Chains A and B, each alone.
Chain A
Amino acid sequence: MKKAGAVFVLIVLGLASVFLFLQNAEAKEPYKIGAVFAVTGPASFLGEPEKNTALMLQEQINKAGGINGHPLEIIIEDTKSDETQAVLSAKKLLENDKVLAIIGPSTTGESMALVPIMNNAKTPLISCAAGAPITMPVKERYWIFKTPQYDTSAVEAIYGYMKKQGISKVGIITISTGFGDAGRKALHDMAPKYGITITADEKYGPKDSDMTTQLTKIKASGARAVINWSVGPGQVIVTKNWSALKMGIPLYQSHGWGSKKNIELAGKAAEGVIAPLGRLVVWDKLPDKHPQKALLKKYTQDYEAKYKGEPGTFGGHAYDSIMMIVEALKKVGPDKKKIRDYIETKIKKWPGTGGIFNMSPEDHCGLDKTAFEMVVVKNGDWEILK
């Protein structure tokens, strides 16, 4: 009986391998690219839409016949929002899966951890995190690119708008996380260039429930505007407190404000809040001939149809990263060095979800403050400010 069982298993295995072989012979070899996203852990609000976007694009591209006939295979690894895990995942992708390029990670810390590894492996990385050090100095970031806009670009968009409004004194309030600290630094660094004085510099923790104290201090400091820099519930609480205090000065939010959910949560309190937002969240308000409009519309509608939620700016970063690599693969084939060179020199006036990219040997992000629109909340909806 035992013998018969073993023979049966052998036959099945044999048949299965022949079958697999036949199938493989039919299609061309797949192009493998890796993705390291913070699907779980504290940064999962970034990793989840990124993962969804990757899965959706893989399906769409393969349905349309793949890349020059080669199916696209995106191997997604979860970093659990942890630097060590990000390094392990990247090593696994490079050594076991032999991927042609990696997209992600979701956070600046994880991306920084991968810089030396990617440089050693001579494999391109397109990060989905915003921190400026990811791609600067460019000389030491030969293989590294990123798609999210610089924090400084968002700050410049705000300061530029304030200058037009004649505001020169601001109070800033930032969350004590990587995102808030990076924003705080950018706010301080850019202030002199726009003739802005920071009269108060306040902070709060990611789980704090009331920021009235900080806002009262900002008001007492003589600021003519408040800038809040955070993601998560903090920005809604600040908005509610700002509205309850009737501060009489405008509230500006960072580019982290770009989710309809925030307007829903803050309700009437959100009226009048101004923020620099990527065009992804206001695509329906763009003029038809805007180069980003068509792709934003398709991406947003496809995503919403598939996942019953908005992709948000973060899903868009993954979209841009993947599409850049896909285009490079289409043009130059599976060669790591050529992919890198293509992205650095040929991604020009390239419309993505984050803006219109202009990569160059001096700039591995390719976006500036023009990637943002200043958007105000009006009647529970976004409105682009001129």
Chain B
Amino acid sequence: MLTVFLQFLFSGLTIGAVYALVGIGFNIIYNSTSIINLAQGEFVVIGGLLMWFFSESLKLPFFAAVLCTLISSGLVGLLIERLTIKPLKNPDLLLMIMITISVSIVLRGVLMFLFGKEPYVYPPFTEGEPINIYGAIIQQQTLWVISITLFCIILLFLFFKRTITGKAMLACAVNPTAAKLAGVNVSKMVMLSFILSAIVGAIGGMTITPISLMEYDKGPMLSVKGFCAAIMGGLGSNRGAVIGGFIIGILESMTAGYVHSGLKDAVALVILLLILFFKPSGIFITKSMSQLRKF
């Protein structure tokens, strides 16, 4: 019994870690621009596919491939912001969200042309047998995903709370005009947030591809589930996104295990609805905090 339960739990952690990373990506852009970037899932796909390209196709050593992937993903984020968000004369929130939807469609098309429709995979970061805990197994790569996720959160926390740049980015979201008056280069901060969130998305993609494979059209599913994670924890709270991601992942897995696998997506979404009914600001955002938000 314990073995089976643990196995369901580990499976949930594996799935949840992915949602958590996507959720954080949403938060970065949201926290500095108040927009929901619906191309976040595509950033994850870009990370996975580029990592494959650098490590398997160009045969670069591991760390060089990681570095190249991060740099090129950051460039993609930068280009997207400079080409689609920057030229806007009246940056209207709804308009910007629509733009991110079209960006996601364009990115999917480009990825399909570059990589084709088939899935890609490369070996896990560390080779070796899965780890056995009381008869339940957990893949080594899952541990990598979880620890890298946690590492990202800590870095981001320090960045937003302890550095001037991070604080300036937060200020831009709360009130761009006031931030500008206080001497913050708002445009630069928005650009930075896109770069950062593209990189975080790419980190997610790089770490999960050995487990889940990566193909050009995986983005929308990741966006939806990651968005659920972010909403559940409260938009803007990274800790919330991570916990939300793991809750959804574990719920899906437990439902599949103890109820029926056909119902898993439905149950996770019902729980999400319940949270939205009874605590619409999310688990980790208080009501007064949420009232400061634009939406």
Contact = CB atoms under 8 A, between A and B. Distances in A.
B7 A203 contact: no
A133 interface: no
Contact of B119 (A42, A214, A232, A267): A232
Nearest to B15: A210
B11 A233 contact: no
A209 B211 contact: yes
Interface residues of B, number: 33
A342 interface: no
Contacts of A232: 119
B91 interface: no
Given A202-B261, A210-B211, A216 B117 contact: no
B220 to A, nearest CB: 8
B63 to A, nearest CB: 23
A207 B260 CA distance: 18
Given A213-B11, A213-B253, A214-B256, A261 B118 contact: yes
Contacts of A216: 4, 7-8, 11, 257
Contacts of B120: 265
Interface string B14-44: 1100100000000000000000000000000
Interface string B210-239: 011101011001000000000000000000
B119 A212 contact: no
Given A244-B130, A265-B121, A205 B265 contact: yes
Contact of A176 (B12, B130, B262): B262
B139 interface: yes
A212 B213 contact: no
B137 interface: yes
Contacts of A220: 4
Interface string A209-229: 110111011001000000000
B261 A203 contact: yes
Contacts of B221: 205, 207
7 contacts: A205-B221, A208-B15, A213-B257, A217-B261, A220-B4, A236-B121, A265-B121
Interface of B: 4, 7-8, 10-12, 14-15, 18, 117-121, 123, 130, 137, 139, 208, 211-213, 215, 217-218, 221, 253, 256-257, 260-262, 265
Given A212-B11, A244-B139, A245-B7, 7 more contacts: A44-B117, A45-B118, A202-B256, A210-B253, A217-B4, A220-B4, A233-B119
Interface of A: 42, 44-45, 48, 173, 176, 202-205, 207-210, 212-214, 216-217, 220, 232-233, 236-237, 240, 244-246, 261, 265, 267
